[in-house]
Amino acid sequence: MSVQQPSADAYQHRVELARDALRTLSRSSPRPPSEALRSVRPDVLASWQRSLEAHRDPQRVSVPFAVPTADLDSARRQHALAAALPVIRTLLIDPAADAGLITALGNADGHLLWVEGDELAARRAELMGFVPGADWSEASVGTAAPGAALATGRPSQISRAEHFSPLVHPWSCSAMPVRNPATGEIVGVIDVTGGDDAVSPLAFSLLRATVTAVESLWRNQLTTEELHTDPEHGLSLHQMVLPLSSPASSLARPPAPRPGRAEARGAARPLAAPTSSTTPPPAAVIHVTGQLPPRVSRRELSLRHAEILTLLDWHSAGLDGAALEELLYGEAAPGVESRAITLRAEIHRLRRALSSQDCPLAVSARPYRLDGEIRTDAALARESLRDGDVQDALAAAVGPVLPHSDAPGIVQIREELAGALREAVLQDADATQLWHYLTRPEAADDEELWLMALRLLPAESPRRSLVVSTLERLRAQR
């Protein structure tokens, strides 16, 4: 593939004009593409045609479904890319993060297994559903680099308006398929996503070098017969010749969403561009809000460890063992005495994990408390709200607190922070801050806030049409 600069403004202007003619495309149509469509790169035009077969209308593409955490964990353990993660992090994820980019690794069906890199970009990418477990095949979201690379078996670069869905237009991405060296079969895909730098020659070179290194690693392992399977290294390449996603797979494509609601919700979630001026949270943060897996220092945390850190940071004065047990596990049933032992074991594992990541944070005992300067984004958002700073609160907490947790203490924190954020937006937000909040899933059906947007937006704002259509949808659902 010749590496071009698809992010160039002149070319992007031609793409915008071509999108007006996009609906006239059809693989079954005998008519040649219009002159406007012929100005689009051939690979992109072919992907648009494939996407129309699945979606028919770019405006009706919704945020992709993401599988439950347990299914994602299982799929990760079983995928051959798990063994190559250290190489990928060294060659691509860490350098790309320094450039403000995120890296995604997916399976052969287009489901993202890992999304790592720049924290702020990753949190913004959640708004378009670019999260672990989400389906980014062409059949799910239309034209995007991961799906196009898997559909063609070739490297792909997609920039801004070249994406099929308007939800993805603020972003650019480059992706390459990864193959089993024993069979040539596509095993997965590696993608770099962000601003225009994601389709730069440097990003593409890093991506190509990483894929080459991963395939060479597998080839060497095959040669030396050092392959094995265990929970930390995933499937061996001998097993990779088997389908990685069968019809019974936990990552099989989910049923289509109910008509109307999901489409409207997708349309009601405009994206902030990767270059948004929203104030970023401090670099040293434990991220526990939003749909991405919890993480610290670019490394994922287990849900239980994230729960403990969140509770101790929220209750900064410290918690004795009994109080922490109740917040984690709920009220003890009569005769249950093993929870204290379980908690001590979890604290021990958490301390070991923080130490292995060179994280300047420690868990002290009697009472349990956090020692160090790192804070959770949830606690930082609460402090910003106490200071009356709505913008910093929204930048810190990008979504619900540990949405997959049912620990009683976490549920309480989640509800408390969500209520405080909404109230602050309702009382003090300007039009920009309100629009930022309305991109969140929890605001999609909040009629009071959409009415507020109608009052605050200038009469000439193009966003008013979206507000009006959203309000009409909500009233029709009453």
> What would the pLDDT profile of 406-443 be if each residue is shown by its tens digit?
999 999 999 999 999 999 999 988 888 888 788 777 88
> What would the pLDDT profile of 135-145 be if each residue is shown by its tens digit?
999 999 999 99
- Lowest mean pLDDT segment, chosen from 226-235, 252-261, 378-387: 252-261
Look up the domain containing 121 and give its range: 44-267
Label residue 341 by pLDDT band (50, 70, 90): confident
The last residue of one of the domains, among 267, 298, 333, is 267
Instruction: Provide the CATH number for the domain around residue 199.
Output: 3.30.450.40
- What the block records as the tokens of 153 is 């078996």
Rg of the chain (C-alpha set): 23
Per the domain annotation, does 470 fall within a domain?
no
Residue 29 has pLDDT above 70, yes or no: no
Label residue 12 by pLDDT band (50, 70, 90): confident
Residues contacting residue 174 through CB under 8 Å, at least 6 positions apart? 145, 155, 156, 157, 158, 191, 192, 198, 199, 203, 204, 207
Share of the chain above pLDDT 90, in %: 38
> What would the pLDDT profile of 295-323 be if each residue is shown by its tens digit?
886 678 899 999 999 999 999 889 998 89
Q: Is 457 left (phi over 0), alpha (psi -120 to 50) or beta?
A: beta
**C-alpha–C-alpha distance, residues 363 and 356, integer Å:** 14
Residues 125 and 177 in one domain: yes
Q: What is the pLDDT of residue 330?
A: 85
The last residue of one of the domains, among 234, 267, 300, is 267
Per the domain annotation, does 9 fall within a domain?
no
Is this prediction's pTM over 0.85?
A: no
Residues 317 and 205 in one domain: no
Alpha carbon 49 to chain centroid distance?
26
More confident residue, 240 or 119: 119
- Lowest mean pLDDT segment, chosen from 53-62, 173-182, 444-453: 53-62
**C-alpha–C-alpha distance, residues 186 and 108, integer Å:** 6
Residues 262 and 332 in one domain: no
